[in-house]
Structure 1
Amino acid sequence: MPYVVTRSCCADASCVLACPVNCIHPAPGEPGFGTTEMLYVDPRTCVDCGACVTACPVDALKPHTALAAAELPFLELNRAYYDTHPHEDRTPMALVPPQRRIRRGELRVAVVGAGPAGLFAADELLRHPGVSVTVHDRLPTPYGLARAGVAPDHQDTKQVTGLFRAIESQPGFTYRLNTHIGRDLHHEDLLRDHHAVLYAVGAATDRRLGIEGEDLPGCASATDFVAWYNGHPDHSADTFPLDGERAVVVGNGNVALDVARVLTADPERLARTDISDRALDALRASRVREVVVLGRRGPAEAAFTLPELLAAAALDDIDVLVEGWPADVPADATPSTRVLAEIAARPRRPGSRRLVLRFLTAPARVVGDDRVTGLTVARTALRTRSGTVEAVPTGDEETLGAPLVLRAVGYRARPVPGLPFDEDTGTVPHERGRVSPGVYVAGWIKRGPTGFIGTNKSCAQETVEALLDDWDAGRLADPAAPAAGRPAPPDTVGLDGWRAIDASERAAGLAEDRPRVKLVDRERLLAAARTPEPSGPGAAGGGRWK
């Protein structure tokens, strides 16, 4: 097998289009594209040309001879995919749809949200001549969860920001960062100034556990914890009790694994990443030696992806344990359960920090008076009803002592002022991304908190197709304001301002042999945005909105 897709795959299909023999699947238009955890290289047809490596925005593709020991399981993962998905009906080349021709005239679109969904939507729009896009975000920095959500020890995944830099460099692209829609500008303002408004605001809050004691200090959202160690300006000054030997994370998705890895990691290893300096100082002083990750159901129902599980299994300085392995779940049921079975069978590593994956355990109540001292948990058993596997309490309870309990049971979107909102799904009702002619949604606010970075690309394509259909049909009202638009609110950060922030952070990182040293205070970010970049390759000028 000449080339292998590894853990950092973002599934945006750049490699699919680059491959001359169509050996990377699922491809756009095939079942599973946009929903699979990653893409896969067929070992039978790969011709070792390396075109996919050049196209990949996150360096996920590697020759099989260059795989590190921790990446060797991806050899089997790629092979096994084609055992059940042979794709024998493939065409000899990846199909590229013909370029759509939209009706002539200038189309101005406001995109709210500068994360992956918003930037992929801007990219799809800017493929068409005559389209201009202004991307708004309430933060002074773009890239959403790619900057503030991806764990600092996953720097390979963060390389997708190189793709975003290419998108924002296109003619017709404009930023209005540090602009809060609903305060600095309103939905009605955007509608007056543009032909269409596309919301890609994501899911900014977390789901609650709904148990007693959840509001005690020391019980917090994993979403906030992730934002804290990633230097999000809203959470940079947060504090978390790291003075106990154990922390408990409720939930067993990718975010739970990220949080557990960061809490158990050697701080000096994190010091070589772009982690917030404030978080790094706190983790250096941390007394946490064990993190217990709880799952209500069994190993076969775990929500984390196989690539993330393989990354946890490969930790060589952490004692990774599996508890609650039910006898009635065969170890070879799925690739994930095979990995979990292998972890469960490993010899222990006495003296190492511990990451415990504990299944068949549900949170019952948070314990403590004025702060958290522990979490009472209930053992569960599995029951299948109407084809769904449920976790049923057995009545067996115990209390895990811990001053820190983090809930990681999913994200949830907030209502968008001026748009309808479905409280049950936490999304804006839509048809193919169209809320009404002139108003559109993409990303998590459209489909809920599901999918991966690349999923946002196909999601954005669908929404932009609906928007362009309305444009061609004459359903979009002309803006009331001229193309120059209304003056930007004070302290708005444009593309040049973001480039100045980026250059400042990268320069500070270069001095410390790190990717960047993040500015985590809004005031310092705005000050950096006003500072012209040094002259030289990539310099973009000074900092206010342009």
Structure 2
Amino acid sequence: MSHVITQNCCKDASCVPACPVDCIRPAHPRDRTAPTDMLFIDPDTCIDCGACMEECPVDAIYYDEDLPAELEIFRDINARYFARHPLEPSVPQRPDDHDGVDRGALRVAIVGAGPAACYAAAALMRTDGVEIDVYDRLPTPFGLIRAGVAPDHQHTKSVVDIFARMLGDKRVACHFNVEVGRDVTHDDLASHHHAVIYAVGAARSRRLEIAGEDLPGSHPAADFVGWYNGHPEHSGHTFDLSCERAVIVGNGNVALDAARVLLLPTEDLATTDIAQHALDALARSSIREVVLLGRRGPRHGAYSVGEFAALEHLPGIDIVVEADETGSSPDDDIATALKLELAHRCARRAPTPGNKRIVFRYNVSPTEIVGSGHATGVVIGAADGTSETLTTRLILRSIGYRGTPIPALPFDEDSGVIPNDGGRVLDDAGAPVAGVYVTGWIKRGPRGVIGSNRACAEETVERLWQDFDRGLLSRPLPDRGAIGQLLSTRGAERVGWEQWRTIDAEERRRGSAAKRPRVKFVDVAEMLAEARK
């Protein structure tokens, strides 16, 4: 019996160093030789010790014989990865840790409290003496894990347990509900810290740039995701769920998340941390079909293998693939070959009468959203020049995200990121900006899964240590408490770690009463009122 890595894999590689026989691949998060959205265990080498299970932060690893029925496909997926990529000695997972520094020698501000920020803090905290201040514009930490991961992926959200231990460390000071540009400036941060790392993500949705895109009923998928996850800036949105069909432009994992949430039985969603207003609205929904539009064929589907495979086990939902070109070739990488096999199987399966449907349409692009005063349909064009109109009152665009410029920092409008060299911010002339760094999506663009941020953050921290060792970050600073005094004079209501724990405890208490993981606050004023108790 061996172990199997399954759908929830966050790819942060915590399990890799725990394996005594080095049989987990890709072993280094920066390995590009076999790009995948998850890790794999070689069944022929695994010695069944269970060490990887103990280290996995999202409970994605199972004993072979204990796999639930809906995850049995991953036994084959793990084995086939190593059939294509035989096990070889791995490269080192990370460079040696930096020697400890004197207290006060390195104080770092990290802007953002999502996965990229937390992995950056974790990399810095491996060195004794480093002081870290974490800033986030919301009163709540964890970024897209709280406000982006779909509610039916509760195991994925459990990675916050690791981040919570780190943010609660005495070397870390949390300044939540503090926004750069509103409460504090970049110059303020630079004058109170030796280095500033921006881990602010990519909040803007890319546009389709077609007629009718701004009609009511046409929304960025990010608005819908924020709405059902209870993000304070999105909780007030409304979505027309009165029609039987919704159309999602795009077929990445966010699109699949939205499709599932629209169609899952509300009794299943009611056991999650979905926002109550979303649960109430979805209980009244008439939607029975979600159509996902992809401009290329199934070979180029943007979804991960794990997320696509999991769709087959959704209760009462048929997966319909409208495509002919589902055959794989010997040159396909393992992820592409598996996606095509899954698509081929779905394309051949007969629908079940009475079931809801997720329909994958490939090689089509939206050309116009039609309607008078409200969207009533989307016109799609095919590669052969034909077009048709899909009737719907709910259209979500899920074609990617873009970063937002930060005052006083350079920004590349074409790519939507802050220009950088391995995380070291570059000015308009291509020269490094002293003491300023980026990690996560604002550094590399909106690519990868949660664990992809670990390697990204470690690369950035490597650059920071290089600059530290060259003496580029050494300068006298005000006392550490001076930034808190500055925030107070500006009227900022800072939420520290203990105040967040008060909010967290009340959400969990309300969740327990409703037999749910938590019932979220969705209003900042209510969060702050709870934090003051």
TM-score in same-fold range (> 0.5):
yes
Partner of 1:417: 407
DSSP 3-state at the match of 1:128 = coil
Give, in whole Å, the separation in 2 of the partners of 1:119 and 1:476: 22
Map 1:392-407 onto structure 2 (within 5 A).
394-407=384-397
DSSP 3-state at the match of 1:18 = coil
Give, in whole Å, the separation in 1 of the partners of 2:476 and 2:241: 53
Taking structure 1 as reference, are residues 30 and 297 closer, same or farther at Cα in structure 2, changes over 3 Å only?
closer
Partner of 2:429: none
Count of paired positions: 516
Once the two structures are TM-superposed, the CA of residue 31 in structure 1 deviates from its matched residue by: 2.5
DSSP 3-state at the match of 2:387 = strand
Asked whether the equivalents of residues 27 and 33 of structure 1 are also in contact (C-alpha less than 8 Å), the reply is no
One of 418, 439, 444 as aligned partner of 2:441: 444
Taking structure 1 as reference, are residues 330 and 263 closer, same or farther at Cα in structure 2, changes over 3 Å only?
farther
Partner of 1:214: 213
Taking structure 1 as reference, are residues 34 and 527 closer, same or farther at Cα in structure 2, changes over 3 Å only?
farther
Give, in whole Å, the separation in 2 of the partners of 1:46 and 1:330: 29
Partner of 2:6: 6
Give, in whole Å, the separation in 1 of the partners of 2:110 and 2:80: 40
Map 1:156-305 onto structure 2 (within 5 A).
156-305=155-304
2:99 corresponds to which letter in structure 1? R
One of 360, 366, 372 as aligned partner of 1:363: 366
Give, in whole Å, the separation in 2 of the partners of 1:218 and 1:95: 47
2:424 corresponds to which letter in structure 1? R
Is structure 2 residue 469 aligned with structure 1 residue 472?
yes
DSSP 3-state at the match of 1:10 = coil
Give, in whole Å, the separation in 2 of the partners of 1:505 and 1:472: 44
DSSP 3-state at the match of 2:108 = strand
Map 1:100-115 onto structure 2 (within 5 A).
100-106=98-104, 107-115=106-114
Asked whether the equivalents of residues 292 and 361 of structure 2 are also in contact (C-alpha less than 8 Å), the reply is yes
Once the two structures are TM-superposed, the CA of residue 99 in structure 1 deviates from its matched residue by: 2.8
Residue by residue over 1:404-423, the C-alpha shift from the partner in whole angstroms, topping out at 9 and shown as x without a partner, is: 11000001111111111111
Give, in whole Å, the separation in 1 of the partners of 2:75 and 2:493: 50
Map 1:447-466 onto structure 2 (within 5 A).
447-466=444-463
Give, in whole Å, the separation in 2 of the partners of 1:144 and 1:527: 21
Give, in whole Å, the separation in 2 of the partners of 1:209 and 1:170: 44
Give, in whole Å, the separation in 2 of the partners of 1:81 and 1:474: 45
Give, in whole Å, the separation in 1 of the partners of 2:296 and 2:324: 10
Partner of 1:385: none
Give, in whole Å, the separation in 2 of the partners of 1:9 and 1:95: 18
DSSP 3-state at the match of 1:229 = helix
Asked whether the equivalents of residues 434 and 440 of structure 1 are also in contact (C-alpha less than 8 Å), the reply is yes
Partner of 2:524: 522
2:497 corresponds to which letter in structure 1? L
Residue by residue over 1:6-52, the C-alpha shift from the partner in whole angstroms, topping out at 9 and shown as x without a partner, is: 00001111111111111111112773389521010011111111111
Asked whether the equivalents of residues 102 and 468 of structure 1 are also in contact (C-alpha less than 8 Å), the reply is no
Once the two structures are TM-superposed, the CA of residue 330 in structure 1 deviates from its matched residue by: 6.6
DSSP 3-state at the match of 1:440 = strand
Deviates more, 1:311-320 or 1:508-517: 311-320
Residue by residue over 1:439-482, the C-alpha shift from the partner in whole angstroms, topping out at 9 and shown as x without a partner, is: 00000000000111111111111111111111121111525422
Residue by residue over 1:163-191, the C-alpha shift from the partner in whole angstroms, topping out at 9 and shown as x without a partner, is: 11121122311110111100100001001
Give, in whole Å, the separation in 2 of the partners of 1:46 and 1:302: 31
Identical columns (%): 50
Partner of 1:408: 398
Give, in whole Å, the separation in 1 of the partners of 2:349 and 2:249: 24
DSSP 3-state at the match of 1:406 = strand
Give, in whole Å, the separation in 1 of the partners of 2:111 and 2:221: 25
One of 336, 341, 346 as aligned partner of 1:343: 346
Give, in whole Å, the separation in 2 of the partners of 1:516 and 1:170: 24
DSSP 3-state at the match of 1:505 = helix
1:233 corresponds to which letter in structure 2? P
Partner of 2:65: 65
DSSP 3-state at the match of 2:473 = coil
Asked whether the equivalents of residues 322 and 357 of structure 1 are also in contact (C-alpha less than 8 Å), the reply is yes
Once the two structures are TM-superposed, the CA of residue 97 in structure 1 deviates from its matched residue by: 4.5
Give, in whole Å, the separation in 1 of the partners of 2:325 and 2:22: 41
Any stretches of 5+ residues in structure 2 without a counterpart?
A: 426-432
Map 1:84-95 onto structure 2 (within 5 A).
84-90=84-90
DSSP 3-state at the match of 1:269 = helix
Residue by residue over 1:119-138, the C-alpha shift from the partner in whole angstroms, topping out at 9 and shown as x without a partner, is: 11011111111111111010
Partner of 2:313: 314
Taking structure 1 as reference, are residues 345 and 158 closer, same or farther at Cα in structure 2, changes over 3 Å only?
same
1:120 corresponds to which letter in structure 2? Y
Partner of 1:540: none
Instruction: Give the superposed CA RMSD.
Output: 1.8
Any stretches of 5+ residues in structure 1 without a counterpart?
A: 381-393, 532-546
Once the two structures are TM-superposed, the CA of residue 201 in structure 1 deviates from its matched residue by: 0.3
TM-score (norm 2): 0.94
Deviates more, 1:145-154 or 1:105-114: 105-114
Residue by residue over 1:484-525, the C-alpha shift from the partner in whole angstroms, topping out at 9 and shown as x without a partner, is: 123234321110011111111111111111111111111111
